């Protein structure tokens, strides 16, 4: 009974999560070929030990060397990291005041505000990104509005630039930033601020000396929750970014679907995973620390 | 003591319902129960008393079947129960949190165990009604646990665990969640129900008053061991150690050297003070270190030196704790020792005889206290 | 409660405007008469009519619902099992790997998950279609289900299960009669989460589906890449409203239950 309970989900995840990765890794060591499947060698276990040995001999690191030689790839990695970093910071700037306002709102409003933050979570990611296309385009609502009030005389070019990508990321990932910060701020005892003011702090310095340090855990968690998925983001750069917007998720997609270069796409995926392991481990450690502190 | 008093533990032919035989339970490096032996008899109301972490809950969970002993065996009616899973034991438990099923009505909660036995419907209904009557819950049968008060929840938990007429009922801090007044009422109710149903009760508690009130015998535990098992009056009047004396009620403890003198035992404890005179302690050697335990209410306080008391010492009132019906006087003796004495407040407070800084005499008889070796 | 400062009021107003205006604009313009989506030319529901008559969209919607229903149900069963293992099974060999496999799919970029599953299906020689999408969706959404359910299980009072055993239930009966009814709300929210995740997914479905199965997000994707279209606005409006009504109703029901329980508890306390 107990064994079955463990074995079923375990085997499922092994078969559909771990094994696929091993396959990706294996293909990343293969060569591109014009065939079905479009890579060589393929393993034929029935051909005996010699064939298996030959199979392993034919695997090499060529695709990885290719990744370092063609500057498209490392530029895409760097650009992804840069975009993720900047948009995480922007999301924090937008999200913190909202989380702060929520935590300071009257108690009977909070459940409602909380739900309003959660609600976009449930609506389609694709639709939320898409909704900005009509706003940011040359003849879009934003330009129409700005032209009509006379702030600008010529329409701004926003769609298909990195700015549109930043806006898209901040918009779609905002709830991930707000919720952990709100959780941290809501726990904060108001009397701590009153004590700080009583001891001679100004409102502003009390905020810097008390509120910000005590919401640090929320800030860290929120930042990781935005940063990690943004690195591999595909939909936002494809819809809102331009041809010059380089993000690794998009490169991988194109490598796979347009170039049909499976071995290189696999190598791109393996390297992306290795890059992601660092923030993921840091995030886990932070969560662990918080759980232990909570006990 | 009357001859027909209930005291199977004094009858060498009586067969115990439960026997712990050299039971040890370890959790990793931590020893929760240390080679423990105890017999509990049918129809007993047995209390396990001790501070938290003393192993009393572990003992109960081993009886219920949620823990298995690391060493030794537990016998129920002569049978080793180690291989019997909790759902097959004729033992039921009342949980500290009550563990009422929140999604089931009171009626369904009580019927839960009966249904597991696949009893016929009318039999289940009859038994549930009986339990509801016993615990005076008839009016609440269709309510959910969150719709009744804490005291009623406690009674539902009791009814549910009694419904299957277990040989043995385990009660884990059954009254811990109730306020003091309700707790006292419920104690008598528990005793009443125990008597009516004739079930053996084992209760775990850290509240010494509760243990003394309800139990036929009390086991005082510390660090996985039983320090003393006895009836409540023996535990109080004749503790076997300073630990038990100190754990139950208030006590004055004095340490000194033994000096056996014929029928009585004397104890020298301070240069300037007379030796304490008390009943002899078996095996006490001259010069051996001893402890003397005496309850504050057995110490009399007076302005003049009493002439007939076996023990009398002089001191100064240091502090008075006024508790309404009684007052406890903290009296400092010449050597610095503080002895507590209690006196009933039979007069109004404005007319009490002693106040701070008064010189007073404390006295007690030779049989009032006990000498203890440890 | 002190008065909210102007700063807080402003940041909340601007923040929520930012969160909701884009969707609001999109919904308004779904009723636009004109084919030019950015110019208002009067109220019309013609794009909704066109949508209903568009077979390709209806087929895609049907495929999506089918995939979402099957995969979320499977994911709920597997995720609940995984949650029980995580919270209750104690130590067993490979536990670290197990919890890693539960958390990793949630932080994994979708392109990697999609790519790896596709390569698996190809190397197994499987025909890609509804079945492979279901397998893929079940795998990543079971992890979300297990997180939702295990957070409820952690706070579950284990003495309830012990009480059931004590009263003679078998371990399975104790789970079915006591644990499951009590954690049911979290299982339901796990299912809903899995369902919406499956409804929304574009990337993984694109990798793992074949020519025989196109999901709604894939359909939307192929048409919005060419720019804004009024038909997609209409479709988006329907999807947003369905989700909003669902989520708001669920939370209102939940709130009412909590309030009623609190009221009854207060009444019970007074009764004593």
**Residue A89 to chain C, least CA–CA distance (Å):** 16
The dihedral over CA atoms of C254, C256, C259, C265, expressed in degrees to the nearest 10, equals -90
What's the confidence (pLDDT) of residue B104?
Answer: 94
Flag whether residue B113 sits within 8 Å of chain C, measured between CB atoms. Answer: yes
Helix axis angle for C180-200 and C216-224, nearest 10°, is 30
What's the confidence (pLDDT) of residue C2?
Answer: 52
B325, containing H or E segment:
none
What's the confidence (pLDDT) of residue A62?
Answer: 81
Nearest to B269 by CA among B232, B215, B313: B313
How many domains does chain A contain in total? 2
Same domain, A147 and A67: yes
**List of chain B residues whose C-beta atoms are within 8 Å of the C-beta of residue C159:** 95-97, 99
Give mean pLDDT, residues C47-61. 91
* Paired sense of beta strands B311-322 and B326-333, if any: antiparallel
- Where chain A has pLDDT below 50, the residues are none
H-state helical runs in C92-157: 95-107, 110-123, 130-154
Same domain, A13 and A155: no
For residue A219, how many C-alpha atoms fall within 13 Å in the half-sphere facing its CB?
14
Strand order in the sheet with B359-364: B300-302, B359-364, B311-322, B326-333, B338-344
Give the domain CATH number at A231: 1.10.3720.10
User: Domain containing A239: what range?
Assistant: 63-294
> What is the rounded CA–CA span in Å between residue B168 and residue B155?
17
- What CATH number belongs to B8-245? 3.40.50.300
CATH architecture entry for C41-234: Orthogonal Bundle (1.10)
Flag whether residue C160 sits within 8 Å of chain B, measured between CB atoms. Answer: yes
Same domain, A78 and A51: no
Q: What angle do CA B118, B120, B125 make, to 5 degrees?
A: 110
Among A6, A23, A124, the residue with its CB nearest the CB of C123 is: A23
Q: Tell if the CB–CB gap between B96 and C173 is shorter than 8 Å.
A: no
Same domain, A130 and A260: yes
Same domain, A155 and A226: yes
Among C170, C178, C272, the residue with its CB nearest the CB of B152 is: C272
- Name the pTM for this structure: 0.84
Higher pLDDT, B374 or C70: C70
Phi, psi of A246 (to 5 degrees): -105, 115
- Name subunits touching A (3+ CB pairs < 8 A): C
Dmax (CA) for chain A in angstroms is: 82
Compute CA B316 distance to the chain's CA centroid, rounded to the nearest angstrom.
34
Structure tokens at A242: 């331009």
What's the confidence (pLDDT) of residue B1?
Answer: 42
ipTM, two decimals: 0.89
Q: Which of B148, B169, B173 to mutate to test the interface with C (most CBs of C within 10 A)?
A: B148
* Per-chain mean pLDDT for chain C: 90
> What is the rounded CA–CA span in Å between residue C201 and residue C216?
9
Last residue of a domain, one of A60, A76, A104: A60
Same domain, A112 and A243: yes
**List of chain A residues whose C-beta atoms are within 8 Å of the C-beta of residue C16:** 98, 113, 116
* Percent of chain C predicted with pLDDT > 70: 98
Q: What is the band of C23 on the pLDDT scale with cuts at 50, 70, 90? A: very high
Nearest to C138 by CA among C180, C99, C98, C82: C82
What's the confidence (pLDDT) of residue A54?
Answer: 67
Q: What is the band of C71 on the pLDDT scale with cuts at 50, 70, 90? A: very high
Flag whether residue C159 sits within 8 Å of chain B, measured between CB atoms. Answer: yes
**From C171, which residue of chain B is nearest by alpha-carbon distance?**
B87
| Cβ atoms B134, B196 nearer than 8 A | yes
> What is the rounded CA–CA span in Å between residue A239 and residue A226?
19
Flag whether residue C91 sits within 8 Å of chain A, measured between CB atoms. Answer: no
Give mean pLDDT, residues C7-25. 92
**For chain B, domain boundaries:** 8-245, 250-372
What's the confidence (pLDDT) of residue A51?
Answer: 65
Q: Tell if the CB–CB gap between C84 and A137 is shorter than 8 Å.
A: no
Domain B250-372 CATH superfamily? Nucleic acid-binding proteins (2.40.50.140)
Neighbours of B297 (CB within 10 A): 16
**List of chain B residues whose C-beta atoms are within 8 Å of the C-beta of residue C181:** 103
**For chain C, domain boundaries:** 41-234
What's the confidence (pLDDT) of residue A27?
Answer: 87
User: Positive or negative CA dihedral for A151, A157, A159, A163?
Assistant: negative
Q: Tell if the CB–CB gap between A126 and C221 is shorter than 8 Å.
A: yes
**List of chain A residues whose C-beta atoms are within 8 Å of the C-beta of residue C38:** 134, 137, 139-141, 144
Same domain, A92 and A28: no
pLDDT digit string (tens) for chain B, length 374 residues? 444 578 888 888 888 999 999 999 999 889 999 889 999 999 999 999 998 888 898 999 999 999 999 999 999 988 899 888 888 888 999 998 899 999 999 999 999 999 998 999 999 999 999 999 988 999 999 999 999 988 899 999 999 999 998 989 999 988 887 888 888 888 888 898 898 888 999 999 988 888 998 999 999 999 888 999 999 999 998 899 999 998 888 899 998 888 888 788 889 888 778 888 888 888 778 888 889 999 999 998 888 888 888 888 888 999 888 888 888 999 998 888 899 999 888 877 666 678 888 888 998 988 888 898 88
Same domain, A163 and A238: yes
Same domain, A180 and A262: yes
Residues 115 to 154 of B: which have CB under 8 A from any C CB?
A: 116-117, 144, 146-152
What's the confidence (pLDDT) of residue C48?
Answer: 92
> What is the rounded CA–CA span in Å between residue C139 and residue C197?
12
Same domain, A72 and A192: yes
Same domain, A273 and A143: yes
Residues 122 to 181 of C: which have CB under 8 A from any A CB?
A: 122-123, 135-136, 138-139, 142, 146, 171-172
Same domain, A196 and A266: yes
Q: Tell if the CB–CB gap between B146 and C160 is shorter than 8 Å.
A: no
Among C160, C167, C171, the residue with its CB nearest the CB of B113 is: C167
What's the confidence (pLDDT) of residue B3?
Answer: 45
């Amino acid at each position: 009974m107990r064994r079955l309970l463990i074995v079923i989900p375990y085997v499922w995840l092994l078969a559909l999560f771990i094994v696929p990765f091993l396959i990706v890794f294996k293909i990343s060591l293969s060569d591109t070929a014009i065939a079905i499947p479009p890579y060589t060698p393929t393993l034929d276990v029935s051909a005996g030990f010699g064939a298996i040995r030959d199979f392993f001999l034919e695997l090499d690191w060529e695709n990885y060397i290719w990744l370092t030689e063609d500057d498209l790839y490392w530029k895409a990695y760097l650009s992804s990291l840069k975009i993720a970093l900047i948009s995480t910071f922007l999301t924090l700037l937008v999200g913190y005041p909202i989380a702060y306002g929520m935590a300071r709102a009257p108690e009977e409003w909070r459940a409602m505000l909380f739900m309003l933050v959660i609600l976009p979570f449930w609506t389609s990611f694709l639709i939320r990104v898409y909704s900005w296309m009509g706003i940011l385009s040359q003849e879009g609502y934003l330009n129409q509005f700005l032209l009509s009030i006379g702030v600008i005389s010529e329409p701004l070019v926003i769609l298909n630039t990195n700015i549109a990508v930043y806006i898209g990321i901040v918009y779609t990932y905002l709830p991930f930033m707000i919720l952990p910060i709100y959780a941290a701020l809501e726990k904060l005892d108001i009397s701590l601020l009153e004590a700080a003011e009583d001891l001679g702090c100004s409102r502003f310095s009390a905020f810097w000396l008390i509120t910000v340090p005590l919401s640090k855990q929320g800030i860290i968690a929120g930042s990781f929750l935005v940063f990690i998925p943004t690195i591999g983001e595909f939909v936002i750069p494809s819809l809102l970014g331009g041809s010059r917007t380089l993000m690794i998720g998009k490169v991988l997609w194109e490598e796979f679907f347009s170039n049909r270069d499976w071995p290189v796409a696999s190598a791109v995926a393996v390297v992306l995973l290795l890059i992601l392991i660092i923030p993921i481990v840091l995030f886990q450690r932070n969560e662990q620390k918080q759980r232990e502190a909570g006990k | 003591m009357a001859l027909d008093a209930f005291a199977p533990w004094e009858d060498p032919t009586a067969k115990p319902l439960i026997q712990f035989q050299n039971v040890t339970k370890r959790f990793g490096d931590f020893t929760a129960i240390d080679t423990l032996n105890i017999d509990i008899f049918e129809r007993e109301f047995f209390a396990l008393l001790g501070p938290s972490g003393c192993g009393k809950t572990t003992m109960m969970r081993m009886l219920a079947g949620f823990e298995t002993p690391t060493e030794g065996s537990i016998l129920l009616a002569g049978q080793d129960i180690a291989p019997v899973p909790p759902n097959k034991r004729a033992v039921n438990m009342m949980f500290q949190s009550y563990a009422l099923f929140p999604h089931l009505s009171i009626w369904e909660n009580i019927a839960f165990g009966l249904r597991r036995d696949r009893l016929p419907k009318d039999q289940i209904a009859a038994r549930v009604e009986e339990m509801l009557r016993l615990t005076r819950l008839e009016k609440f049968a269709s309510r959910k646990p969150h719709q009744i008060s804490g005291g009623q929840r406690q009674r539902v938990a009791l009814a549910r665990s009694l419904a299957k007429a277990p040989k043995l009922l385990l009660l884990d801090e059954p009254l811990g969640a109730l306020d003091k007044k309700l707790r006292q009422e419920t104690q008598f109710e528990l005793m009443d129900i125990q008597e009516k149903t004739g079930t053996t009760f084992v209760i775990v508690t850290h509240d010494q008053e509760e243990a003394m009130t309800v139990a036929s015998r009390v086991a005082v535990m510390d660090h996985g061991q039983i320090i003393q098992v006895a009836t409540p009056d023996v535990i109080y009047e004749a503790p076997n150690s300073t630990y038990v004396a100190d754990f139950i009620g208030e006590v004055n403890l004095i340490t000194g050297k033994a000096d056996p003198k014929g029928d009585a035992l004397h104890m020298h404890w301070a240069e300037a003070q007379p030796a304490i005179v008390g009943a002899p302690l078996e095996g006490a050697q001259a010069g051996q270190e001893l402890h003397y335990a005496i309850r504050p209410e057995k110490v009399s306080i007076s302005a003049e030196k009493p002439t007939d008391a076996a023990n009398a010492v002089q001191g100064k009132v240091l502090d008075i704790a006024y508790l309404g019906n009684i007052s406890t006087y903290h009296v400092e003796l010449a050597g610095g020792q503080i002895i507590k004495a209690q006196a009933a407040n039979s007069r109004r407070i404005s007319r009490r005889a002693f106040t701070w800084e008064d010189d007073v005499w404390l006295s007690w008889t030779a049989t009032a206290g006990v000498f203890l070796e440890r | 409660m002190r008065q909210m400062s102007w700063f807080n009021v402003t940041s909340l107003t601007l923040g929520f405007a930012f969160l909701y205006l884009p969707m609001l604009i999109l919904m308004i313009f779904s009723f636009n008469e004109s084919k030019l989506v950015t110019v208002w030319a009067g109220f019309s529901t013609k794009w909704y009519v066109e949508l209903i008559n568009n077979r390709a969209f209806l087929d895609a919607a049907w495929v999506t619902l089918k995939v979402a229903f099957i995969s979320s149900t499977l994911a709920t069963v597997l995720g609940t099992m995984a949650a029980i293992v995580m919270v209750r099974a104690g130590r067993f060999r490979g536990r670290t790997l197990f919890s890693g496999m539960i958390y990793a799919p949630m932080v994994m970029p979708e392109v990697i998950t999609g790519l790896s599953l596709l390569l698996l299906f190809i190397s197994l020689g499987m025909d890609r279609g509804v079945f492979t999408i279901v397998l893929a969706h079940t795998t990543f959404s079971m992890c979300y289900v297990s997180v939702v359910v295990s957070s409820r299980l952690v706070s579950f009072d284990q003495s309830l299960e012990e009480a059931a055993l004590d009263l003679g239930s078998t371990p399975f009966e104790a789970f079915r009669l006591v644990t499951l009814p009590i954690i049911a709300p979290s299982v339901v929210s796990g299912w809903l989460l899995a369902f919406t995740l499956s409804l929304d997914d574009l990337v993984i479905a694109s990798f793992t589906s074949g020519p025989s199965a196109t999901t709604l997000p894939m359909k939307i994707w192929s048409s919005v890449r060419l720019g804004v279209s009024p038909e997609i606005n209409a479709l988006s409006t329907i999807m947003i409203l369905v989700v909003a009504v669902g989520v708001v109703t669920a939370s209102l029901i939940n709130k009412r239950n909590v309030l009623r329980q609190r009221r009854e508890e207060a009444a019970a306390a007074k009764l004593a």
